[in-house]
Homo-oligomer: A and B are copies of this chain.
């Protein structure tokens, strides 16, 4: 296991994605593994936790997911944004994208897909087969079977970033990202 890796309660793991960060999706089948960046993803259910991920038909990671029925969602931070951009702009059809994108990985606990190092959190997922959605919309529904966070930035169901490099990130276009910004709290009282 990773040096900084603590279990996250499955019913709270949606909170790792609720703010809409860009993620890294990884999958493995046999000897081949791959990773790609993805912005088009959303939580779908709390318990059991489900997530939607949109994966283009050209994607090699998608092929590995379809063959293995498993994927991992890793939540990257500012410090590896350059690698996230690379993982979104090259294809794994030509060979292992991890090395070319400068990303390292380590084994998951339940699924065969690898976890990406230097991330803020990880969701190990199994595909819920929905062939019509997959074919028609490139939409994949997965169930989270294990969730982990770097407890320095996410614990007790909450994010608590310290430095800029720790922050999760959100993709715009053309190489531009937003950092996840400051937290503020509302009271939600009727005026």
Q: Which of A2-10, A115-123, A144-152, A168-176 is near enough to bind chain B?
A: A168-176
How many monomers of this chain does the complex have?
Answer: 2
A52: chain B residues at CB < 8 Å are 42, 52, 139
How many residues of chain A get a CB closer than 8 Å to chain B's CBs?
A: 57
Q: Is the interface of A mostly helix, strand, loop or mixed?
A: mixed
> Does the CB pair B182–A181 fall under 8 Å?
yes
> Does the CB pair A173–B39 fall under 8 Å?
no
Smallest Cβ-Cβ distance to A90: which chain B residue: B190
Q: Residues of A with Cβ closer than 8 Å to B?
A: 15, 18-21, 39-45, 50, 52, 54, 78, 81-82, 84-86, 89, 100-102, 132-133, 137-139, 141, 157-159, 167, 170-191
